[in-house]
Amino acid sequence: MTLALSSCCADQPVPDARHYFSLPDALPMWRGGTVRGAQLAYETWGRLNRARDNAILLFTGLSPPAHAAASPEDPREGWWQRMIGPGSAIDTDRYFLICVNSLGSCFGSTGPASIDPRTGQPYRLTFPDLSIEDIARAGHELVRGLGILRLDTVMGPSLGGMVVLAYAALFPGSARRLVSISGTAAASPFAIALRSIQRDAVTSDPDWRNGQYSRERPPVAGMRLARKLGTVTYRSAAEWAQRFDRQPIRADLRREAPFAPEFAVQGYLEVQADRWVNAFDANCYLYLSRAMDRFDLTAHGTSPALWRRADLAHALIIGVESDMLFPISEQQALAHALEGAGIATRFVPLPCIEGHDAFLVDTERFGHAIGEFLAR
Amino acid sequence: MTLALSSCCADQPVPDARHYFSLPDALPMWRGGTVRGAQLAYETWGRLNRARDNAILLFTGLSPPAHAAASPEDPREGWWQRMIGPGSAIDTDRYFLICVNSLGSCFGSTGPASIDPRTGQPYRLTFPDLSIEDIARAGHELVRGLGILRLDTVMGPSLGGMVVLAYAALFPGSARRLVSISGTAAASPFAIALRSIQRDAVTSDPDWRNGQYSRERPPVAGMRLARKLGTVTYRSAAEWAQRFDRQPIRADLRREAPFAPEFAVQGYLEVQADRWVNAFDANCYLYLSRAMDRFDLTAHGTSPALWRRADLAHALIIGVESDMLFPISEQQALAHALEGAGIATRFVPLPCIEGHDAFLVDTERFGHAIGEFLAR
C-alpha cells in the first residue's frame, strides 16, 4: 500500500479536491463510545445521474487518502490512477465514483489525530475503539447524505476489502454489487502476528510516549520499522528475487553506520520508510491496524443467512496467489459463501507476483477483471 | 529456532558439559581482522573410535548453544534432544557427535560479548566482521585439534546449513558426507529484508547505544521485536491457523496497556520474546544475523567445479515446503548442484507445516531422513 502524496512547492497552494461531510453528532461507534463533530473527507469523479443509481463507493487500504485519481481540482496522480477515468476500468463517463478517506485516518477524516471539540486537544488515545464497521458506517452516512438510496457498487481493496463486507452486512440492500479485492472476512493469526509486531514497533518507541508524542518528535524509529515490515508483507519473495536478487544497495542510499544497509532490497525498505514516516499519524495507524485484526464477519451472522439478508445481486472477489497477508484461500472461501447464498459471484484469482500490493501495481490484470465486471 | 536453556536453582551449580578449545592465536577472519585468544565451546556424545573416522560435526542455527542433547555431565534437555542418543537418528553408540557453539555466539565461544584480551573490555562492535566462513573455520580447527583427519559427516540446520557448505568449500576432503538442513547457498532478498528489519529493531532501540549497552540495561525492546519477527519467519501461516486460529490470548498473558495483545498468537509471540531477550547478547545476534545475509557460496567458485573439489562422497539436503525464510527451491537447487558434480545426493523435501523451525519440531520426519542417510 503505497502512499500517493506528491510534495508541492512551498509558494503554491496545494491542490485539493476534497469535500467534507459532517457525520451525525454524536457518531455511535461499533464497540462503544461516540465521536463528536466528526467529518469524512471524500473526493468524487464523474456525475451522479438523475436516477442516482450510478454511484460507486470506494474504500481504501490502510494508508491512502481519498485522492484515488487526478481531477480538475487536484491534477496530481492518485493512488489508483490507472484504474479510474473516462473509458478506464472504473469508467467515470458512466459512473459517479466516491472515494472516502477512512474514519480513523488522518487525511481529512476524523481520527485519533483530530481535535476533540470537548477538550480542544487531539483525541490521541481517547478516541474510542475503531472498528471496520465504523469505517463502513461513516461511508454509508455519506452516501445517504448525497441522496443515494442504493449504490451501484461498493468496492474496496485490502482494509477496504474488509469494509465492503461490513457495509453489506450492516446495511442490507444498500448496494446492488460488491467488489472485494484482496480482502478477507477475518484475518488469519499469521496476519495478526505481523500487524501486531508493527504496532509493537511503534508503541515500544520511547518517542511514542503512550500516544502523547509531539508534532516535532513523532515516533519515527517505530514508524520506520512498522513500514519496513509492512512493505515486506505487502510484496512477495518471488517479486524481490526478480527485482533485487542479491544486488548491492544503490550508492546514494549507502550510509556509514554499524549494520547499515548493504543490499538493494534494504535500500528499497529505507525509501518506503522515508516516504511513510512523516506522512501518516502514528496513533491513526495503530487504530486502523488493530481494526483489521479484530474484524470478524461472523459477528454479523453466518452464511448463507448473512449474505441472503445483504440483498446483493452480483459480487466480484479478487485475490492474488502470492498474497501472504490476505491469502487467496480467504478470498476463495468468501466467494464460496456468497455463491452459496445465491449471489451471482465471480471469483478471480490472479497469478500476480507482487503479493498483496498487486492491486496497486498490476493495474492491467485488475483493470481487466473490474472493468469486465462493471460493464456487465 | 528455540533456545533450550533451562533455568536452574540458585543454590545448585548449573550442570555444564561444555569443553573449550583454544583457537589459533591470532585467528584470521574471512573478511579481514583477527581475533586474539579465541575459544570454541563444544559438547560431545558417544566415543571417537580408534580409526577416528566416526565423528559427526554439528553446527547449530543462529541461537542454540552447544548443548544439543542431555549427557551425564548435563542432564538437561538439549535443543535437538529427540534426534541424538543411543539408537536415535544420530546414533551415539555408533558415532562420536561434536556440537559447537558458533564462533561469534555467546554461549562459551568467543564473540562480540567476549573480553578482548588487548583491552580487558568486551569486544562489542570492535569484533571483526563475522562470516559464515569463520564459523566453519573455527569448527574445522576444533576437529583438527581433536586429531580427526576426516569427518564422517558435517551437519547443520538453518545457519548451520550454510556453515556446512562453507566447510566443504573451504576444506576439501575434510568430510566424507554432508547434511544441510533447511539451509541455503545464498539468502534471498526476502530473507535479507526480514533479517535486516530485525537488526534495525535492535539498532534503533536507544538502549542499544551503538553497541555500548550495559549489562543492566540491554536493548530489551529491540530484542523483543527482533525475536517476535524471527518467530513469525520461523513458523508458518498454516501451522498457526491450526494452532491458534482467532482464539483470544490466554488469561495469564493479558495485560492492561494501550494496544495490548488480544489474540492467542500474540501471546505466543510474547512468550517467545520473553524467553529470548535475556538469554542472547544483542551484538552477537547482530553479527550472526548479518553473516547469514552476506553468505554467498559463489564466493568459493561455481558448480560443478566447486563441489568436485570438495571431495564429498554423499550428501543429504533436507528442506521444508512451508519454509518462507529458506525456501525449498533453494535446497532443491543446492541438491541439484551437488548431484551435477557427481556426489551421491539425496534431496528430501518434507511436507511439514511448521516452516523453517520444523527440524526442531517434527523430529519424526527429520529423524527418519537423517537416520536412514547415516545408516547407509
A181 and A39 fall within a common domain: yes
Same domain for B180 and B195, yes or no, is no
Higher-confidence residue of A278 and B34: namely B34
Q: What is the pLDDT of residue B11?
A: 64
Q: Which of A257, A289, A321 is the last residue of a domain?
A: A289
Measured in angstroms, the CA of A199 and the nearest CA of chain B are apart by: 8
Beta-carbon separation of A192 and B224 below 8 A: no
Which residue of A192, A240, A323, A356 is the best one to mutate when testing the B interface, meaning the one whose CB has the most B CBs within 10 A? A192
Asked if A274 is an interface residue toward chain B (Cβ–Cβ < 8 A), one would say no
User: Is the pLDDT confidence value at B2 over 60?
Assistant: no
Q: What average pLDDT does the segment A214-235 reach?
A: 97
Q: Mean pLDDT throughout A3-8? A: 42
Active site residues of A: 158, 323, 356
Look-up of cell digits 478471480: A348
Mean pLDDT of A351-363: 97
Same domain for B181 and B319? yes
Task: Verify that A69 and A148 share a domain, yes or no.
Answer: yes
Task: Kindly tell me if the per-residue pLDDT of A10 is higher than 70.
Answer: no
Q: Are residues A322 and A243 in the same domain?
A: no
The whole-model pTM stands at 0.96
Q: Is residue B85 classed as helix, strand or coil in its secondary structure?
A: strand
Residue B356, chain A, CB below 8 Å: the answer is no
Of the residues B213, B217, B255, B265, the best mutation for testing chain A's interface (the one with the most A CB atoms within 10 Å of its CB) is B265
In a domain, B256, yes or no: yes
What are B189-229's pLDDT values in tens digits? 999 999 999 999 999 999 999 999 999 999 999 999 999 99
| Residues of chain A by 3-state class (helix, strand, coil), percent to 5 | 40, 20, 45
List all residues 6 or more positions away from A208 whose beta carbon is below 8 Å from its beta carbon: A202, A219, A222, A282
Contact across the interface for A224 and B200, Cβ inside 8 Å: yes
Domain assignment present for residue B328? The answer is yes
Lowest mean pLDDT among A75-79, A191-195, A277-281: A277-281
Q: Which of A252, A272, A289 is the last residue of a domain?
A: A289
Q: For chain B, what's the residue count?
A: 376
**pLDDT tens digit string along B284-301?**
999 999 999 999 999 999
Predicted confidence at residue B278, as pLDDT, reads 83
Beta strands in chain A (DSSP E): 19-22, 27-28, 34-35, 39-45, 55-58, 84-85, 90-91, 96-100, 115-116, 121-122, 151-157, 175-181, 314-320, 344-350
Query: Grid coordinates standing for A146?
Result: 448525497
Q: Return the H-helix or E-strand segment holding A328.
A: helix A328-340
Cα–Cα distance between A374 and A369 in angstroms, integer? Answer: 9
Q: What is the pLDDT of residue B13?
A: 83
Partner residue opposite B203 with nearest CB, options A244, A258, A262: A258
Average pLDDT of span A277-300? 97
Q: How far apart are CA B339 and CA B347, in angstroms?
A: 10
Contacts of A188 in chain B (CB under 8 A): 237, 240-241
Q: What is the CATH number of the domain that holds A285?
A: 1.10.1740.110
Provide mean pLDDT across the span A282-300.
Answer: 98
- Measured CA to CA, the distance from residue A349 to residue A328 in angstroms comes to 7
Asked if residue B8 is part of any domain, the answer here is no
Residue of A85, A98, A71 whose CA lies nearest to A153: A98
Instruction: Give the separation between CA A339 and CA A330, rounded to whole angstroms.
Output: 14
From chain A, the residues in CB contact with B197 under 8 A are: 225, 228-229, 232, 269
Q: Count of CB atoms within 10 A of residue A20's CB?
A: 13
Q: How many CB atoms lie within 10 A of CB A234?
A: 25
CA–CA min distance A371, chain B (Å):
33
Residue A342 burial (10 A CB sphere; 0-12, 13-18, 19+): exposed
pLDDT value at B7 more than 80: no
pLDDT, residue A13, reads 83
- Give the residue from B260, B289, B318 where a domain finishes: B289
Neighbours of A183 (CB within 10 A): 28
Q: What is the ipTM of this complex?
A: 0.95
Q: What is the pLDDT of residues B48-84, one digit of tens each?
A: 999 999 999 999 999 999 999 999 999 999 999 999 9
The DSSP letter of residue B93 is T
Same domain, B90 and B207: no
Mean pLDDT, residues B164-184 taken together: 98
Instruction: Note whether A123 and A112 are within 8 A (CB).
Output: yes
Q: Is there a single domain that holds both residue A280 and residue A302?
A: no
Asked about B356 being catalytic, the answer comes back as: yes
DSSP label at residue B263: B
Residue B63 in contact with residue B3, Cβ under 8 Å?
A: yes
Helices (H), A84-219: 132-145, 159-170, 189-203
Same domain, A78 and A168: yes
Task: Using a CB–CB cutoff of 8 Å, tell me whether B244 touches chain A.
Answer: yes
b/e sequence B116-153, b meaning 16+ C-beta within 10 Å: beeeeebbbeebbebbbbbbbbbbbbbbeebebeebbb
Distance between CA A136 and CA A29 in Å, rounded?
11
Nearest-CB residue to B197 (from A192, A229, A241): A229
Burial code (b: 16+ CB inside 10 Å, e: under 16) for B188-205 equals: bbbbbbbbbbbbbbbbbb
Q: Which residue of A has its CA nearest to B238?
A: A190
Cell representation of residue A27: 457518531
- The percentage of chain A sitting over the pLDDT mark of 70, rounded to a whole number, equals 97
Q: 3-class DSSP state for residue B63?
A: coil
* A258 contact residues in B (CB cutoff 8 A): 125, 203, 210-211, 286
Co-location of A160 and A271 in the same domain? no
- Residue B272 included in any domain: yes
Min Cα distance B364 → chain A (Å) is: 25
Question: Which alpha helices (H) appear in B54-174, and where do they start and end?
Answer: 132-145, 159-170
Residue written as grid cell 521444508: B320
Q: What's the confidence (pLDDT) of residue A289?
A: 98
The residues in A 77-136 lying below 8 A from B, measured between CB atoms, are 125
A178 close to A153: Cβ distance less than 8 angstroms: yes
Within a domain: A9? no
Shortest Cα distance from A196 to chain B (angstroms)?
7
- Catalytic residue, chosen from B63, B158, B174, B322, is B158
A225 touches chain B (CB under 8 A): yes
Cα–Cα dist A281/A112, whole Å? 9
Domain that holds residue B111: 19-187+295-375
Which SS3 state, helix, strand or coil, does residue A221 take? helix
Instruction: Answer yes or no: is B5 within a domain.
Output: no
CATH code of the domain in which B322 resides: 3.40.50.1820
Task: Determine the residue of chain B that is closest to A126 in CA distance.
Answer: B258
Query: Which of A304, A311, A327, A56 is CA-nearest to residue A179?
Result: A56
The set of cell numbers assigned to B199 is 537488526
Confidence of residue A17 (pLDDT cuts 50, 70, 90): very high
| Cα dihedral across residues A324, A327, A328, A329: positive or negative | positive
- Structure-block grid coordinates of residue B321: 515446503
Residues A177 and A208 both lie in one domain: no
| Domain count across chain A | 2
Asked whether residue A3 is assigned to any structural domain, the reply reads no
Beta strands in chain B (DSSP E): 19-22, 27-28, 34-35, 39-45, 55-59, 84-85, 90-91, 96-100, 115-116, 121-122, 151-157, 175-181, 314-320, 344-350
> For A97-126, what is the mean pLDDT?
97
Tell me the HSE value of B337 on the side-chain side, using a 13 A CA sphere. Answer: 21
Among the partner-chain residues A193, A201, A262, the one whose CB lies closest to the CB of B266 is: A193
Contacts of A294 in chain B (CB under 8 A): 262
The reply to whether A86 and A132 lie within a common domain is yes
Q: What is the DSSP letter of B37?
A: S
- Compute chain B's Rg from CA coordinates: 20
Q: Is the pLDDT of residue A318 over 60?
A: yes
Given a cut of 60, is residue B10 above it in pLDDT?
no
Beta strands in A280-343 (DSSP E): 314-320
Interface with A, mutate which of B196, B207, B296 (most A CBs under 10 A) = B196
Whether B69 and B179 map to the same domain: the answer is: yes
d(CA A102, CA A59): 7
**Domain annotation covers residue B10:** no
Q: CA–CA separation, A324 vs B232, rounded Å?
A: 12
Which residues from A are below 8 Å from B241, CB to CB?
188-190
**B301 contacts B287 by C-beta, under 8 angstroms:** no
Average pLDDT of span B236-241: 97
Q: Is B67 a catalytic residue?
A: no
Give the C-alpha separation, A199 to B10, whole Å.
37
Average pLDDT over residues A302-306: 96
Spatial separation of the C-alpha atoms in residues A155 and A366, rounded to whole Å: 13
Give the pLDDT score at B104: 98
B29 has a pLDDT exceeding 80: yes
Question: Are A212 and A124 within 8 A, CB to CB?
Answer: yes
CA distance A307 to B120: 71
